[in-house]
Amino acid sequence: MNDERREGSAVATDSAREYLTFTLGEEEYGIDILKVQEIRGYDAVTKIANSPDFIKGVINMRGIIVPIIDMRLKFHLGQVEYNEFTVVIILNISGRIVGLVVDGVSDVIALRGDQIRPAPEFGSVLDTAYIDGLATLDERMIIMVDIEKLMTSQEMGLVDQTHLAVA
């Protein structure tokens, strides 16, 4: 499966890459679809003590223990009740499996490199280090996130390194 996808994307590289878009409140985000392993509903999690609030806990995914991250909390978009539309995007980032809780998955889109524009600097108001750029599709603005960089970053504390809690 993965190989097929990869081949497909290889053909598409010069023209376009595919992105999975999801919504968080009013905003729409896009991530590289090759990092996505599967999409599933939200299950009860097991909380982990003394972890940042955006880490909801861990779940059992067919015998694998997977940490679950609430992107709303991570991006400070306020708390939302989880409902039947709440989905978890399971990412596979260089062998590590992580789940993202998002409000909903909207689409798979193909974008060419020139369709993604650099995001403006927000200075200290907003850290744009993990934002690749902005894309426009049918009047919608999609925020392209470098999910790998974000997930392996120190502030996520997902990977064992000197953990710095996000203020």
Residues that bind another protein (CB under 8 A): 44-51, 57-60, 62-67, 96-98, 157-161, 163
Q: Residue 50 or 79: which CB sits closer to another protein?
A: 50
| Smallest gap from residue 4 Cβ to another protein (A) | 25
| Smallest gap from residue 129 Cβ to another protein (A) | 21
| Smallest gap from residue 120 Cβ to another protein (A) | 34
Q: Residue 60 or 136: which CB sits closer to another protein?
A: 60
| Smallest gap from residue 113 Cβ to another protein (A) | 31
Contact yes or no for 30/20 (Cβ under 8 A): yes
Q: Residue 49 or 125: which CB sits closer to another protein?
A: 49
Q: Residue 57 or 115: which CB sits closer to another protein?
A: 57
